[in-house]
Chains A and B, each alone.
Chain A
């Protein structure tokens, strides 16, 4: 089982990110489960969302305590929330930050990308979720970028879908070029 935990704040599309990730995996013929853990339901409050991907039916309903990947949509959560808690050795931390930061465990691959900047450039709004999924596809190879694009199309339509797809593609290319 491949497990992803997404950290962010209300209004950043954290829950939608997990949902799109599950749709992308589903479109590749896998079983996937996405679910949120809401705190207080308001803009700016910390929000967690989870996604499990497997080749067989997923029965487990507990929150993900030992993720293979953490996606951190808001870097100000590092330090105040247990963003890296339980992250598996050899796993990935994908962090929305235009520059490298301290704090990620040494036994994981940390990757930093200015997802908010890319979202502002392509979508015109500071919502980094689709950008980070594009980067996720390049970084982990767990899902294909084509599936991410299909998932964006499943959740959005018209110019919003198109702009988010452009943003995800840009992040995908940038990640391919920069990843170690």
Chain B
């Protein structure tokens, strides 16, 4: 049934319908509304046999989730920005111990300078931490991805981070279809792991591994991630069959099937890009967009297949590595090698700067590109003043 609700509420409802037994989180903008709503639902008895555990920090939030998940119960947490950094040691532990925790990351930039607004810097800080990472385009997809995430995590044996653009999605009201509890129950079976911490059947988890086995352990984790490509794809197909809509998966292509220019992006900016592409194509342009839903694992084959015939590839992303440039851009460029077309990297929307149709239209239709990396909408006057002050 369609509901006009906030993205954060849609996510909370999705998580509740996945029947977690433990929800623990520490508030941080823009994630807070999600766990506030879950707290209300747990308190009202709307989530059966679920404990909402108050903790004193993000480090504790994920550590509690690690403990409860290791004891064999479905566990959930959420964070943003600095909160993710503060829990980072536990982030690596969760994946290293193969615990299928699901965490929402309400994407927000990282300070200093202090900034509460959206970009993907926080997600990029965890890109090598061994979690599967899925990016939502809309609030409907955010809701759907959470239901898929528990299934993917538990099938692969790996935690999943669902990345949802802070404010732009978390605080946006739009129509979302909330599935029935019965449908979710049919899609997502109860969590029943083979291995769990159990005092009547003791085992150890997260032990020290010496140099003679460490490479093998990490290699197997790498294989699990690569195997996850299949599981993510299958889960999206099962979801479409069950719920009648396309959500999730590895990548999505939209626009001219023989496009000269293909834009690559992740998250909520996709909708704005699609509007621009429709407009440009209606005027005779040949544009398309490749949406990366699964950033980890990165679907290299699918990216290559979608982009190899393009004359120009533009990677549009809300994060960058200081001193190097676009992060997704580097990964896509490497996936494409050797690539004979033009390859461009655009850094946009960082620290909450709006990505507008006007800026995108101007950039996509430029005759030539003097720089390989462009900071979209950079105000050179401000740069000059600030650099004189330094």
Interface residues of A (CB under 8 A from B): 15, 18-19, 22-23, 26-27, 31-38, 41, 58-63, 65
**Considering the chains assembled together, what is the distance between the CA atoms of A38 and B32 in angstroms?**
15
In the complex the two chains form, is B174's CB within 8 Å of A33's CB? Answer: yes
In the complex the two chains form, is A35's CB within 8 Å of B4's CB? Answer: no
Residues of B in contact with A, size category = 20 to 34
**Considering the chains assembled together, what is the distance between the CA atoms of A63 and B349 in angstroms?**
12
**Considering the chains assembled together, what is the distance between the CA atoms of A83 and B175 in angstroms?**
28
Binds A, one of B19-27, B145-153, B180-188, B351-359: B351-359
Q: Which one of B6, B167, B172 has the highest number of Cβ atoms from chain A below 10 Å of its Cβ?
A: B172
Q: Which 3 pairs, one residue from A and one from B, show the smallest C-beta to C-beta distance? A: A59-B271, A26-B4, A34-B173
8 A-B pairs with CB atoms under 8 Å apart are A18-B173, A19-B173, A35-B172, A41-B29, A58-B174, A59-B272, A62-B355, A63-B356
B28 to chain A, nearest CB (A): 12
Chain A residue with minimal CB distance to B165? A61
**Considering the chains assembled together, what is the distance between the CA atoms of A88 and B116 in angstroms?**
31
In the complex the two chains form, is B272's CB within 8 Å of A22's CB? Answer: no
Which residues of the partner chain B approach A61 to less than 8 Å between Cβ atoms? Answer: 168, 268-269, 271-272, 355
**Considering the chains assembled together, what is the distance between the CA atoms of A37 and B4 in angstroms?**
19
Decide yes or no whether B274 CB sits under 8 A from chain A.
Answer: yes
In the complex the two chains form, is B174's CB within 8 Å of A32's CB? Answer: yes
**Considering the chains assembled together, what is the distance between the CA atoms of A62 and B174 in angstroms?**
15
Which residues of the partner chain A approach B116 to less than 8 Å between Cβ atoms? Answer: 38, 41
Chain A residue with minimal CB distance to B137? A59
Which residues of the partner chain B approach A18 to less than 8 Å between Cβ atoms? Answer: 173
In the complex the two chains form, is A38's CB within 8 Å of B173's CB? Answer: no
Decide yes or no whether B275 CB sits under 8 A from chain A.
Answer: yes
Q: A18-B173, A22-B4, A34-B174 are in contact. List 9 more A-B contacts (CB 8 A).
A: A19-B6, A35-B173, A36-B167, A58-B174, A59-B274, A60-B271, A61-B271, A61-B355, A63-B356
In the complex the two chains form, is B175's CB within 8 Å of A31's CB? Answer: yes
B272's partner among A34, A35, A60 (CB-CB below 8 A) is: A60
Q: Which one of B116, B167, B270, B271 has the highest number of Cβ atoms from chain A below 10 Å of its Cβ?
A: B271
Q: Which one of A19, A23, A26, A62 has the highest number of Cβ atoms from chain B below 10 Å of its Cβ?
A: A62
In the complex the two chains form, is A59's CB within 8 Å of B173's CB? Answer: no
In the complex the two chains form, is B357's CB within 8 Å of A60's CB? Answer: yes
Chain A residue with minimal CB distance to B173? A34
Decide yes or no whether B196 CB sits under 8 A from chain A.
Answer: no
Task: For chain B, residues 14 to 45, give those with C-beta under 8 angstroms from any C-beta of chain A.
Answer: 29
Which residues of the partner chain B approach A58 to less than 8 Å between Cβ atoms? Answer: 174, 271
A13 to chain B, nearest CB (A): 14
Chain A residue with minimal CB distance to B357? A62
Q: Which one of B29, B174, B275 has the highest number of Cβ atoms from chain A below 10 Å of its Cβ?
A: B174
B107 to chain A, nearest CB (A): 13
Task: For chain B, residues 220 to 269, give those with C-beta under 8 angstroms from any C-beta of chain A.
Answer: 268-269
**Considering the chains assembled together, what is the distance between the CA atoms of A102 and B203 in angstroms?**
76
B275's partner among A26, A27, A38, A59 (CB-CB below 8 A) is: A59
**Considering the chains assembled together, what is the distance between the CA atoms of A34 and B139 in angstroms?**
12
**Considering the chains assembled together, what is the distance between the CA atoms of A33 and B355 in angstroms?**
17
Residue-wise, chain B 297-315 has the 8 Å CB interface mask toward A (1 for contact) of 0000000000000000000
**Considering the chains assembled together, what is the distance between the CA atoms of A59 and B355 in angstroms?**
13
A86 to chain B, nearest CB (A): 12
Check A36/B354 contact, CB under 8 A, given A19-B6, A26-B4, A41-B116.
Answer: no
Decide yes or no whether B171 CB sits under 8 A from chain A.
Answer: yes
A83 to chain B, nearest CB (A): 18
